[in-house]
Copies of this chain bind each other. A is one copy, B any other.
């Protein structure tokens, strides 16, 4: 039984904790936070399903003053586990790394950290083997994680030469008050970092892209223009996506009109927090542009990286030796593709 800690109990950290809890070959020993956030308050109101450790001695006092049970400090927790999933804010992960090094514990960092914090920039489907038995892995960001699922899926089928992506980015998560747009689209300088990140993970593909922020909270939308090495029809493209365990193929006629339908569907499914691990691709958007194939992807930004982070644990600890075994185990425990 592999022992896991989660550092940072925010949007991603909470979902990582849930994800680890579902893995039958892993044990979630505890979660770490520094402040009395509403997520920590919710943990208490739920009866502390996860043990809470304070990021530092001062936080112990903060939590205790609020009547929240604390099981120790982060340093205490780190000594009890094999690996830490670090979902703290950008920059903090790099500081935490010193603690992980001190106690010889492995770690998986989230997309917000700099690449140089880790030995490998990791994606479960695209480069699992590169992460095998490594000490420090860094996950791709939410958009890149979902995008690579789709590109890797086609790449393994027909080979992909290049992709040009348009990212219609949700600008804030539900509940965010520190960022937001009101009646405005915001354009980023191209190429987007997601295109660059894709090339880091899949160096044989030429990628570029434009990103525009939009005032919504439930899921990014990415359009992809992909140039295959071997010709592929729209129907074959759809079939390839349908065969993938972390991709859901949906259609407008079924009632999936956009990101808000998918969020509602996840809530109607009774998924914790209305989360969704899979990306969705609209069948109705798969079209040909000459030899290129074009399609549109929904990225549930809060939860999409959870499966690949489970893969990362499996790779870093050598729990499974191959991509197929590692991702299959994750998928089994997360009940991915149960809708099929």
What chain B residues lie within 8 Å of A290 (beta carbons)?
161-162, 206, 227
Tell me if A174 counts as interface (CB < 8 A to partner B): yes
Instruction: Known A174-B264, A227-B290, A264-B174; judge A258-B164 contact (CB<8 A).
Output: no
A174-B218, A177-B181, A212-B168 are known contacts. Are A256 and B38 too (CB-CB below 8 A)?
yes
Contact with B along A144-186 (1 / 0, CB 8 A): 0000000000000000011110101001101111011111111
A215 in the interface (beta carbon within 8 A): yes
Interface of A, helix, strand, loop or mixed by DSSP? mixed
A210 within 8 A of B: yes
Structural contact, A187 and B221, CB atoms closer than 8 A:
yes
From known contacts A164-B289, A285-B187, A338-B45, infer whether A265 and B177 are also in contact, taking CB-CB under 8 Å: no
Tell me whether B260 and A175 are in contact (CB under 8 A): yes
Tell me whether A171 and B182 are in contact (CB under 8 A). Answer: yes
A296 located at the interface, meaning its Cβ lies under 8 Å from any Cβ of chain B in the complex: yes
Q: Residues of B contacting A296 with CB < 8 Å?
A: 187, 190, 210, 212
> Does A274 count as interface, using CB distance less than 8 angstroms?
yes
Residues of B within 8 A of A227 (CB): 290
CA distance A288 to B268 in the complex (A): 42
Q: Number of A residues contacting the other chain (C-beta, 8 Å)? A: 85
A214 touches which one: B162, B166, B207, B216 (CB < 8 A)? B216
Question: Are the C-beta atoms of A260 and B190 separated by less than 8 Å?
Answer: no
Digitize A254-290: 1 where CB-to-B-CB distance is under 8 Å, 0 elsewhere: 1111111101110111101110000000101111111
Scan residues 219-272 of chain A and give those whose CB is less than 8 A from a CB of chain B: 219, 221, 223, 225, 227, 252, 254-261, 263-265, 267-270, 272
Which one, B161, B182, B186, B207, contacts A183 given CB within 8 A? Answer: B182
Contact A187 B258 (CB under 8 A): yes
The answer to whether the Cβ of A16 comes within 8 Å of any Cβ in the partner chain is no
| A37 at the B interface (CB under 8 A) | yes
Q: Is the CB of B223 within 8 A of A210?
A: yes
Does A292 reach chain B (CB closer than 8 Å)? yes
Set B185, B218, B273, B284: member contacting A187, Cβ < 8 A: B284
Shortest Cβ distance from A60 into chain B, in angstroms? 19
Determine if A71 is an interface residue (Cβ-Cβ < 8 Å): no
A14 and B268 in contact (CB under 8 A), knowing A255-B41, A260-B185?
A: yes
CA distance A153 to B110 in the complex (A): 43
* 21 A-B pairs (CB sep. < 8 Å): A38-B255, A38-B256, A42-B269, A45-B338, A161-B290, A163-B289, A164-B225, A171-B182, A174-B263, A174-B264, A174-B267, A175-B261, A177-B260, A180-B182, A185-B216, A187-B257, A209-B294, A210-B285, A215-B215, A215-B216, A267-B274
Instruction: Contacts A185-B216, A190-B287, A208-B294 known; list 10 others, CB within 8 Å.
Output: A38-B256, A39-B268, A41-B265, A168-B168, A176-B260, A182-B215, A186-B257, A190-B284, A210-B223, A212-B223
Q: A residues engaging B (CB < 8 A)?
A: 14, 36-39, 41-43, 45-46, 161-164, 166, 168, 171-172, 174-177, 179-191, 206-210, 212-219, 221, 223, 225, 227, 252, 254-261, 263-265, 267-270, 272-274, 282, 284-290, 292, 294-296, 338-339
